[in-house]
Structure 1
Amino acid sequence: MKKRMHIILSAFLILLLAVVSSACGTQDTNADAGEQKSEKKELYSVGPLAGKRVALVMQLNLGTFSAQYISGVKEEVGRFGGQVTVFAADGDLGRMTANLDAAINQKFDAILIDHGTPAALQNGIKKAVSQNIPVVVFDADVKVPGVTVLQQGDKEMATSVLEKLAKDNGGKANIVKIWVAGFAPMERRQVAYKEFLKNNLGIKEVAAFGSATANTALDTQAQMEAVLKKYPNKGDITAVFAAWDEFAKGATRAIEQAGRTEIKVYGIDMSDEDLQMIQNPKGPWVASAAVDPKDIGRVQVRYAYQKLHGDKTPDSVELKSVLVTREELPAEKVTTDTLNKHIKDWGSSQQGIADWMKK
């Protein structure tokens, strides 16, 4: 009898363990399925487009703006299930040409281009198109049939921030312009700048400089320090118009170190580092016009995948910019990821999302 009870008890324990094991196994499986479902929800419905290799060919990979732009590219390619390889030329256009050739020869599925000049890019882009490699360009003034070119609305950005400068100073100011030739977006910003001076006779340019180097912000700081020594008196300089955020950073640091914070800085472009400087209540940088750098990368990728999908894409796309001013920002720290809580239209671009990409 005892033996029989022992057998029954053993069988019951074995059955109980099996049930518990089974329940645990089911719980793990459901958890995995939930995680997979959550992950899948964040992917586009790409099907055969998954696993594509995308080359990002850059003239410069400099500063936090470029870092966040690259982040946007990688994030969006990842949503399609692809991989990104970055080819940075450190400002060397000859190297950029070679990098573009390398991307073509390595048979990347799509090529994204960031800045550059027609002379450096045109032949390589034509070669890529002839091999049916989709190409989407950002801020380079190239015109090749079948290639989509993105730009930020540079004239609009320059005009909006310059109008803010004029308004803040009652239409009268002595300003320093920091700008450099040889970049398509800079050239467009310069057109807006000339038109602004023509229409605002109370705004006078007292100095102008600028160069794009491996240490642009640091070099700008040194150049701005020299300008401040040349114009040492309060009122000699009212404001700085910086046509690139690397210029704005250098000018801001020079003004702070010289104790000349009555001089205000008005910039173009935006990054997390820039936001911290603008939010400083005692700092000179008070406004910047910009497109979310991550959005730029995301939109560029979407058009590349439209091309891979066989969609017809436009020759040119203009990205909508916003003006970010200190008075619109809260006291607590803001990043480009949280800026949309305070600045309408920031970081929420739906440009380039085709119907087939939507769930």
Structure 2
Amino acid sequence: MKKTPNFLLCLLILIATILVGCQPNASNGEDKVKPVNASSKSAHPLANKKIALIMQQNLGTFSAQYIEGVKEQVASFGGTTTVFTSEGDLAKMASNIDAAVNQGFDGILIDHGTKEALNQGVEKAIENEIPVVAFDAGVDVKGVPVLEQGDQKMAEMTLNKLKEDSNGKANIVKIWVAGFAPMERRQIAYKEFLTDNPDIKEVAAFGAATQNTALDTQAQMEAILKQYPNEGDITAVWAAWDEFAKGAVRAIEQAGRTDIKVYSIDMSDEDLQMMQKEKSPWVASAAVDPTDIGRIQVRYLYQKINGESPSDQVVLEPVFVDTEKLPNTNVTTNELHEYIKGWGASDQGYTDALKELENQ
């Protein structure tokens, strides 16, 4: 048999050595995997959640600040937020809930809406083990917390101030719209107020929620002012929503009517700026900090995600903002707590588990 030359044998040994060196190191027959870094190993079980925020309407600075609060709190818990807006269309809102369920979100936040439109979708979410928490919505499903702002109390606060300023005798214009759960609750207090104060009379009422609510309200208020052109014809405007108040205030200012005062519900930075203008007709409002509302709603949703069982009804404590309490320099809602007791920075909804999550 012919012998293999020495150089050829050496070459074969060299190739075999190289091939062995290129094989992956193995343990128990499996390739070794790089160790997971310590931070992901210790990730909190509530971290990295995907949250859907489904809104009936996204209008004005109140909504903007509310969304800001939601996103801020979710981010502090290590999650992400996707906002679904419905342009006031309840059918689209119901469709958005279905979409959030089908896309497998970890939790759903709802802003406004009626039970007729939303209950079925919310029930579907619960069946799919997706927790839901609503704000100012007519949702009526067991196990779904609904936050409200103490709407009747806010109405009473502003109406009582109107009564005080007018010595119990006034002609008022009401700006209000049906079909929204908080508006319906505010209307209850309004009706009771008129019954208890027969010398305070409603001379006109209107209101519609549109994509340009403040502008449309302004046009309607201008028409009302032409109907009642004399001093004393209208003593005050009671606006059940700050978007209504904005339109009314602009109409009154443009008409040069210094005899009419405006009382409202809800508060935003834009509202506060208008209230602080010299000789502004907008003298008072009752509200909960919209940024805080968003934060608190998120906390209750994370309680649900964590397997806890908060109450199905959560009432937020409103604050009365009187322009007489504000300083001469302009302030924003972030600074309002320095002048108005109880404003902002609420700890409502926090639990030890959520504080631990936020710290991580």
Decide which structure has greater helix share: 1
**Does 1:225 pair with 2:225?**
no
The counterpart of 1:94, out of the listed 88, 91, 95, is 91
The counterpart of 1:207, out of the listed 199, 204, 207, is 204
The counterpart of 2:149, out of the listed 145, 148, 152, is 152
Aligned-partner Cα distance in 2 for 1:217–1:46: 46
The aligned amino acid for 1:159 is E
Q: String of CA shifts for 1:313-332, please: whole Å, max 9, x gaps.
A: 11110000011011000011
**Does 1:129 pair with 2:126?**
yes
The TM-score, its normalising length taken from structure 1, stands at: 0.87
Q: String of CA shifts for 1:79-135, please: whole Å, max 9, x gaps.
A: 101000000001011111111110000000000000001111000000000111000
Q: Per-residue deviation at 1:261? A: 2.2
Show the 5 A alignment for 1:176-255.
176-255=173-252
Q: Per-residue deviation at 1:46? A: 7.6
Query: Does the Cα contact within 8 Å between 1:72 and 1:295 map onto a contact in 2?
Result: yes
**For the aligned residues, what is the CA RMSD?**
1.2
Runs (4+) of structure 1 exceeding 3 A deviation are: none
Specify the SS of the correspondent of 1:175: strand
Q: Per-residue deviation at 1:245? A: 0.1
Show the 5 A alignment for 1:1-359.
47-359=44-356
Q: Per-residue deviation at 1:63? A: 0.3
Q: Per-residue deviation at 1:202? A: 1.5
Aligned-partner Cα distance in 2 for 1:126–1:261: 51
Quote the sequence identity (%).
68
Query: Does the Cα contact within 8 Å between 2:73 and 2:295 map onto a contact in 1?
Result: yes
Q: 1:46 to 1:254 in 2, by over 3 A?
A: farther
Q: String of CA shifts for 1:203-262, please: whole Å, max 9, x gaps.
A: 110000000000000000000000000000011000000000000000000000000022
Q: Per-residue deviation at 1:69? A: 0.3
Q: Per-residue deviation at 1:281? A: 2.5
Aligned-partner Cα distance in 1 for 2:235–2:142: 46
Query: Does the Cα contact within 8 Å between 2:114 and 2:137 map onto a contact in 1?
Result: yes
Query: Does the Cα contact within 8 Å between 1:46 and 1:80 map onto a contact in 2?
Result: no
Aligned-partner Cα distance in 2 for 1:160–1:236: 24
The TM-score, its normalising length taken from structure 2, stands at: 0.86
Aligned-partner Cα distance in 2 for 1:185–1:266: 17
Aligned length: 316
